[in-house]
Structure 1
Amino acid sequence: MYKNLMETIERLPDHQQIRDERKIVLQPLIDFIQGKINSHLAVNLNFICTHNSRRSHLSQVWAQLAAVYYGIPDVYCYSGGTEETALFPKIAETLSDQGFQIFKISTTVNPIYAIKYADNSLPIIGFSKKYDHPFNPIADFAAIMTCSQADSGCPFIAGAEKRIPITFEDPKISDNTADQTRVYAARSLEIAAELCYVFSMIKK
C-alpha cells in the first residue's frame, strides 16, 4: 500500500470517536459482511447515491481499501446512481491528495478513472453509472444508500439481497466556495473512518 495512503489511514479518527448513533447505523452492514464471510461467500457491496458522482464513489473506494487493510477476503465494491452523470473531478483530486494514485483512462463526458492503492493492486474503476449498469452485480449484493434522496427515490433495488441506508452529507454544498477543499477532504475522511470501523469489526 502506498506510504501516503497508509499515513492517511493511521491518522483517521479512532473507532471510539465514532458516535454511538452512527455505530447503530453501520451495524447492518457489519452483519451483512459477517454473514457472507461466515458462509464463505463473496461480499458484493453496491454504494448508491443519486448522481453517482461524489459520496457513492468515496464509499466504494474506501470500502474496498478497508477490506484490503483489514485482510477481509472476497470483497467487491461497486457504486451507482439513480441516474448517470460523471465522477466529480474534486473527488479524484481529494483521493489523490489522501494517497491514492489516480489515472484518467477515458476523457469522455463521463470519464473513467483507475484508482490504485498499491503498485501491484488491481485498480478500482471509477465512473458514473446507474445502479443497475452491467458493470455492477445483478444479484446477491447489499445496496448501501449513501444519500437520503436515493434512499427515498429508490424504494426497490432489483437484485439487492439487503438494502442498508448509510447516508452522508453531500460535500457539494461547498462547491464554488473557499471551503471546498477542506469540506471534500473532511467528508472523505469521515467515510473512510466509518468504513474502516465496519471492516475492523469483521471476524475472519
Structure 2
Amino acid sequence: MQKQLFNTIQNDVLNQEICEDRKVVLQPLVFYIQEKVNDKQTINLNFICSHNSRRSHLAQIWAQFAAAYYNIPNINCYSGGTQETALFPKVAETLSIQGFQIFKIADSNNPIYAIKFDENCLPIIGFSKKYDDAYNPISNFVAILTCSQADDGCPFIAGAEKRIPITYEDPKISDGTTNQTEVYQQRSIEIATEMMYVFSQIIK
C-alpha cells in the first residue's frame, strides 16, 4: 500500500464514527456480500449514479480497496450512470492526494484512468459509462444507487439480483467555490469510511 494511502486510512478513515442510522442503510450490502462469501461465489458490485462522474467512482474505488484491505476474495467493483459524461478531474485529484496512484491511459472528452492502491495490484479502470455498458456485468450483480436521482430514474435495472440505495450528497455543490477541495476530500473520506465498515463486517 502506498504510504500516503496508509496514512489516510489510519488518520482519516478508521477513526471515523458511523451513526446507527447509516449502519442500517449499509446492512443490506453487508448481507448481500456475506451470502455470496458463504456460497464462495464471485461478487459483482455496480455503483450507479446519474452521471458516473463523482460519487459512483469514489464508491467503486474505495470498495475495491476495502475488499483488498480486509482480504475478501472474488470482489469485482464497477460503476455506471444513467448517462455517460466523464470522470470529473477533481475526483482523480482527490484520490491522488489521498494516496492512490492515478494514471491517465487515454485522453478524450471521456478520459480513461488507471487507479492503483498498491504497486503490484491490478489497476481499477475509471471512466464514465452507462450502467449497462459492455464493460460492466450484465447479470449476477448488485446495483448500488449512490444518488437519489439514479435511484428514482432506474426503477428497473436489467440483470441486477438486487438494488440497494446508499446515497451521498453530491460534492458538485462546491464546484467553483473556495471550499471545493475540502468538500471533495470530505465526501471521499465519508464514502471510504462506509465501504471499509461494510467489508470489516464480512466473516470469511
Flag whether TM exceeds 0.5 (same fold).
yes
Counterpart of 2:145 in structure 1 is 145
Distance across 1 between alignment mates of 2:63 and 2:69? 10
Partner of 1:129, secondary structure, is coil
Counterpart of 1:160 in structure 2 is 160
Distance across 1 between alignment mates of 2:175 and 2:15? 29
| Superposed counterparts of 1:54-203, under 5 Å | 54-203=54-203
Q: Does 1:32 align with 2:9?
A: no
What RMSD, in angstroms, separates the aligned Cα atoms of the two structures? 0.9
Does the 8 A contact of 1:55 with 1:146 survive in 2?
A: yes
- Per-residue deviation, 1:3: 1.1
Distance across 2 between alignment mates of 1:161 and 1:143? 8
- Per-residue deviation, 1:12: 3.2
TM-score by length of 1: 0.98
Deviations 1:94-148 (A, max 9, x none): 0000000000001111000000111111000000000000000000100000000
- Runs of 4+, deviation exceeding 3 Å: 12-16
Percent identical residues: 68
* Distance verdict in 2 for CA 1:19–1:174, change over 3 Å: same
- Per-residue deviation, 1:14: 4.4
AA in 2 matched with 1:97: I
Does the 8 A contact of 2:13 with 2:192 survive in 1?
A: no
AA in 2 matched with 1:55: R
AA in 1 matched with 2:98: Q
AA in 1 matched with 2:157: I
Distance across 1 between alignment mates of 2:7 and 2:162? 33
Structure 1 portions without partners, runs of 5+: none
Does the 8 A contact of 1:171 with 1:187 survive in 2?
A: yes
Distance across 2 between alignment mates of 1:78 and 1:179? 29
Distance across 1 between alignment mates of 2:143 and 2:154? 11
AA in 1 matched with 2:96: S
